[in-house]
Amino acid sequence: MDKNNLLKVSFAPHAHGGQSVSQIMLYVIVALLPAMLVGIWVFGPKALEITLTAVISCVLFEYFTQKFILKVKPTINDFSAAVTGVLLAFNLPSNIPLWMVVIGSFAAIVIAKMTYGGIGNNPFNPALVGRVFLLVSFPVAMTSWPKPFAYTVGGVDVITAATPLSILKEGVKNTEALTTIMAKMPSYLDLFIGIRGGCIGEISVLALILGGIYLLYKKIISWHIPVSMIFGILIFSGILWLTDPSKYADPFFHIMTGGVFLGAIFMATDMVTSPITPKGKLIFGSLIGILVILIRVFGAYPEGVSFAILIMNAFVPLIDRYTRPKRFGE
């Protein structure tokens, strides 16, 4: 009997459901496509350029770190580095220099992922670490956004527009009345479709919701984190708004602006850095929502989704520990 005819022996089960890590990551990339298309439509080819740069540099960083420094088999074929790249690019303004994107990818892959042992072991969302790294290193480049459709009239770097949230923050700082601030805002319809200043991937609520529905349908994410996070924002900002509507923005403004939907659907639901049980997910999501509003209303930064998610990432082991599933028969 030659070696190929020997009977294989292993433990049960001898069947597998068929879903693999690379498949999950591919579904996530597909779900991110509508938001990417809106980003390219609104910000022009520069958006595509940045996304490609981020993806390629993330994949290469992962490959080289694993091949030459850690000396393990590279895991780039699971597409997790590609997902990190897309998400990182989605969190950047479209006029950022490409070399900064490469630095961000370095922070995301090498610092936030590989130093902890690669996929599955990182406590913090790599793409968000990359973004925050860039935000504290290059605050100006990271907070000047081109106006929507500026590329069609030329001079991408020149015409910049503030995001709705920074308009709000500036206005509050200058003690303007809330009504005058709100008058400068894009309409809710524009916010929903994505015609506004902001990072590449965060602008279109519609496209992000489409991607989210796709992921829910494919059972890659569950509804717990996005829903609880958005409800957390709605309820907490709603309470503030009810106490003083002339001082605080209304809750719908809060969920429609900034990176709330990108964060809720794609960043907070990252499997590695979110709790495992439904109960834990609900706690995790709603606390992110509350933190987002705390940072936006009382903090120094106009936007707080990245920081809120990163802070809650640190609590995931604790949440997992106290939200064990109910064992059968106990």
Partner 1 sequence: MNTIFTTIIALSAIGVISAVLLYIIAQKFRIVEDPRIDEIENVLPKANCGGCGYPGCRNFAEACIKSDNFEIMFCPVGGTSCMSQVAKILGKESAIKEPMVAVIRCNGSRQNRAQKNIYDSAETCRLVHNLFRGESGCQYGCLRLGDCVQSCKFNAMYMDKETGLPVVIEDRCVYCGACVKSCPRKIIELRKKGPRGMRVFVSCINKEKGSVARLNCTAACIACGQCFKICPHNAITIENNLAYISFEKCKLCRKCFSVCPTKAIQEVHFPAKAQKEPLSEIKSS
Partner 2 sequence: MNTLSTTTKTKTFPKGGVHPKEFKFSAKNSIESIPLPKNVFVPLTQHLGARAKPVVNPGDKVKVGQLIAEADGFVSANIHSPVSGTVKNIDEVIDQTGYKQRAVIIETEGDEWLADIELSKNIKRDCNLSTQEISDKIFKAGIVGLGGATFPTHVKLKIPPGKKLEHLIINGVECEPFLTSDHRLMLEKGEEIIIGIKILMKVLNTDKAIIGIEVNKPDAINNLSDIASKYPGIEIHPLKVHYPQGGERQLVRAITGKEVPPPPSGLPIDVGCIIINVGTAFAVYEAVQKNKPLVERVVTVTGKSLKKPSNFLVRLGTTISHIISVCGGLPSDTGKIISGGPMMGKALASLDIPVTKGTSGIVIIPENEAKREEVSNCIRCGRCVEYCPLGLEPYLYMTLVERNMIDKAEEVKIHYCCECGCCSYTCPANRPLTDYIRLGKNIVLYNIKKRQTKKDG
Binding site for partner 2 (CB under 8 A): 4-5, 7-17, 19-21, 23-24, 75, 78, 80, 117-121, 271-274, 276-277, 324-330
Q: How many residues does the chain have?
A: 330
Residue (200 or 309) nearer to partner 2, CB: 309
Using CB under 8 A as the binding criterion, the count of chain residues that bind partner 1 stands at 7
Amino acid at 303: E
Choose among partner 1, partner 2, none what residue 327 binds, the Cβ cut-off being 5 to 8 Å by kind: partner 2
141 binds, among partner 1, partner 2, none (CB under 5 to 8 A by kind): none
The tokens describing 251, both together, are: 């809750």
Binding mask 7-36 for partner 1 (x = CB under 8 A): xxxxx-------------------------
Closest CB 50 distance from partner 1, rounded Å: 42
- CB of 34 within 8 A of CB of 210? yes
Smallest CA-to-CA distance from 287 within 262, 258, 259, 307 is with: 307
- Give the span between the Cα atoms of 133 and 307, in whole angstroms: 11
Contact in structure between 83 and 23 (CB atoms under 8 Å):
no
Contacts of 245 (CB under 8 A, 6+ apart): 178
- Residue 14, judged by CB atoms within 10 A of its CB (0-12, 13-18, 19+), counts as exposed
Q: Which is nearer to partner 1, 4 or 152 (CB)?
A: 4
CB of 17 to partner 1, least distance (A): 17
Residue 180 contact among partner 2, partner 1, none, beta carbon within 5 to 8 Å by kind:
none
Q: Which is nearer to partner 2, 161 or 276 (CB)?
A: 276
Cβ closest to partner 2, residue 85 vs residue 280? 280
Separation of alpha carbons 124 and 78, rounded Å: 19
* 228 binding partner (options partner 1, partner 2, none; Cβ < 5 to 8 Å by kind): none
Which stretch, 1-9, 38-46, 161-169, 308-316, contacts partner 1 (CB under 8 A)? Answer: 1-9
Kindly tell me the burial class for residue 7, based on how many C-beta atoms sit within 10 Å of its own C-beta (0-12, 13-18, 19 or more).
exposed
Cα gap 176→279, rounded to integer Å: 42
Q: Which is nearer to partner 2, 83 or 86 (CB)?
A: 83
Nearest to partner 1 of 21, 60 (CB atom): 21
Tell me the Ramachandran region of residue 198: left when phi exceeds 0, alpha when psi lies from -120 to 50, beta otherwise.
left
Q: What CA–CA distance (Å, rounded) separates 188 from 302?
A: 19
- Cβ closest to partner 2, residue 191 vs residue 288: 288
Min dist CB 3 to partner 1, Å, is 7
How many whole angstroms separate alpha carbon 58 and alpha carbon 113? Answer: 11
Q: List contacts with partner 1 (CB under 8 A).
A: 3, 6-11
